[in-house]
Structure 1
Amino acid sequence: MKPRQRQQIIQELIIARGEASVDKLAEHFGVSAETIRRDLGVLDTLGVIKKIHGGAARVRLHSEKSFHERMSERTTEKRVIAEKVAKLIEPNETVFLDTGSSTLICAEVLGAIEGLTVITNSVMIAQTSGASSRGAKTFLLGGCFGADNSETVGPLVIEQIQRFQADTAVITVAAFDAEMGAMDSDFDEAQVARAMISRARRTIVLADSSKLGRIAAFNVAKTEDIDILVSGSNVGTGFAAAIKTKGIEFR
Structure 2
Amino acid sequence: MSMTPVLSARQERIVEILRATPSITTADLALRLGVSGETVRRDLQAMADDGIVQKFHGGVSLHRDVQESPFQLRLRSNVAAKRRLAQQVCALLPDGASIVLDNSSTACFVAEALAARHGLTVATPSLEVARALAQSGDRHTVMLPGGTLRSSDMTLAGANALRFATQLHPDYLIVSVASLSARGGCLDFDPFEVEFKQAVHPHAGTVIVVADASKFEAPGLITSLPWTSVQVLVTDRALPDELARAAQGVRVVVAEETVEG
Same fold, TM-score > 0.5, yes or no = yes
- Post-superposition Cα deviations, 1:171-213, rounded to whole Å, max 9, x if no partner, equal 1111111332111111111111211212311100111211111
Residues 1:241 and 1:123: Cα distance change in structure 2 (over 3 Å): same
CA gap of 1:215–1:224, structure 2 versus 1, over 3 A, is: farther
Q: RMSD over aligned Cα, in angstroms?
A: 2.4
Structure 2 length as normaliser, TM-score? 0.67
Alignment correspondent of 1:210:
214
Other-structure match for 1:87: 91
Provide the residue aligned with 1:219 in structure 2.
223
Residue of structure 2 equivalent to 1:71:
75
Q: 1:105 aligns with which of 102, 109, 112?
A: 109
Q: Give CA-to-partner distance per residue, 1:54-100, whole Å, 9 cap, x none.
A: xxxxxxxxxx9711111111000001110110111111000000101
Measured after TM superposition, the shift of residue 121 of structure 1 is 0.3
Residue in 1 that maps onto 2:245: 242
CA distance in 1, matches of 2:92, 2:155: 25
Matched letter for residue 188 of structure 1: F
Query: Is there any run of 5+ residues in structure 2 with no aligned partner, and where?
Result: 1-30, 35-65, 254-261
- Residue 176 of structure 2 aligns with which residue? 172
Partner of 1:152, secondary structure, is: strand
Deviations, residues 123-147 of structure 1 (Å, cap 9, x unaligned): 0111111222571100011212110
8 A Cα contact 1:111 1:132, kept in partner: yes
Say whether the 8 Å CA contact 1:171–1:204 is kept in structure 2.
yes
Distance 1:182 1:241 in 2: 13
- Write the deviation string for residues 219-238 of structure 1: whole angstroms up to 9, x where unpaired: 111000000111124x4553
1:96 counterpart = 2:100? yes
In structure 1, distance between residues paired with 2:97 and 2:212: 24
- Show the 5 A alignment for 1:120-131: 120-131=124-135
Are the structure 2 counterparts of residues 241 and 163 from structure 1 closer, same or farther at C-alpha, using a change threshold of 3 Å?
closer
What SS class does the counterpart of residue 173 from structure 1 fall into? Answer: coil
Q: Which residue of 2 aligns with 1:53?
A: none
Asked if the contact 1:114/1:134 (under 8 Å) is kept, the reply is: no
3-state SS of paired residue (1:113): coil
Gaps in structure 1 of 5+ consecutive residues:
1-43, 48-63
Query: Could you say what secondary structure the match of 2:205 adopts?
Result: strand
| Structure 1 residue aligned with 2:144 | 140
Match of 1:199 among 194, 203, 206: 203
Return the match for 2:157 from 153, 165, 168.
153
Equivalent residue for 2:192, pick from 184, 188, 191: 188
Larger Rg over CA atoms: 1
What amino acid sits opposite 2:119 in the alignment? G
Contact preservation (8 Å) 2:208, 2:230: yes
Aligned counterparts, 1:2-21, within 5 A: none
Query: How high is the sequence identity, in percent, across the aligned residues?
Result: 25
What amino acid is the match of 1:238? D
4+ residue runs of structure 1 moved beyond 6 angstroms? none
